[in-house]
């Protein structure tokens, strides 16, 4: 029986140290699809969805506004990237949870549909007033 020669693509991937399981080779959309977003992928819809959430840590209340520069990276199928919907501009008002009210410029707010988690990063917060 003749020995099967590896395909050129598989050989190039192996040379890079990137050998994929055969099930993923050459099949478009083979990566698991991300669960659907619980909001329409638009800044205002994301903002409204975030503001409807009530289960923030330490009893805090968060109010997001002015979300912009948003990227929907949930529809790209890649085994190397976690699906995410992200906005790179806006602001969050923090209150409750035993803290003083604060207003913080957002550096990023992201929703990860596979984990059903929100993460946000802020610049220097100021007292709300």
Cβ of 109: how many Cβ atoms within 10 Å?
25
Asked if residue 10 is part of any domain, the answer here is: no
Number of domains in the chain: 1
5 within a domain of the structure (yes/no): no
Per-residue pLDDT band for 9 (boundaries 50, 70, 90) equals very low
Contacts of residue 21, Cβ cutoff 8 Å, sequence gap at least 6: none
pLDDT digits (tens, 9 = 90+) for 41-75: 999 999 999 999 998 988 899 999 999 999 999 98
| DSSP bridge partners of 62 | 94
Taking the alpha carbons of 25, 26, 27, 29 in that order, is the dihedral positive or negative?
positive
Please, what is the Cα angle at 84 between 80 and 86, to 5 degrees?
130
Regarding predicted confidence, which is higher, 40 or 100? Answer: 40
Residue 23 lies in a domain: no
pLDDT over threshold 90, residue 89: yes
Task: Calculate the alpha carbon distances from 5 to 16, 96, 118 in Å.
Answer: 18, 64, 47
In a domain? residue 2: no
Q: Is residue 101 part of a domain?
A: yes
Task: For residues 109 and 71, give the distance between their C-alpha atoms in angstroms, rounded to a whole number.
Answer: 11
Per the domain annotation, does 7 fall within a domain?
Answer: no
Residues spanned by the domain of 62? 30-127
Q: Is the pLDDT of residue 115 over 60?
A: yes
């Amino acid at each position: 029986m003749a020995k099967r020669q590896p395909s050129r693509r598989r050989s190039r991937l192996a040379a890079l140290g990137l050998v994929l399981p055969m099930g993923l080779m050459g099949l478009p959309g083979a990566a698991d699809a991300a669960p659907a977003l619980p909001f329409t992928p638009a800044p205002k819809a994301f903002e409204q969805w975030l503001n409807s959430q009530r289960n923030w840590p330490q009893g805090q209340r968060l109010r997001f506004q002015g979300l912009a520069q948003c990227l929907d990276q949930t529809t790209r199928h890649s085994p190397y990237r976690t699906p995410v919907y992200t906005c790179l501009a806006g602001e969050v008002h923090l209150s409750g949870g035993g803290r003083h009210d604060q207003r913080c410029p957002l550096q990023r707010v992201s929703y990860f549909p596979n984990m059903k988690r929100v993460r946000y990063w802020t610049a220097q917060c100021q007292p709300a007033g």
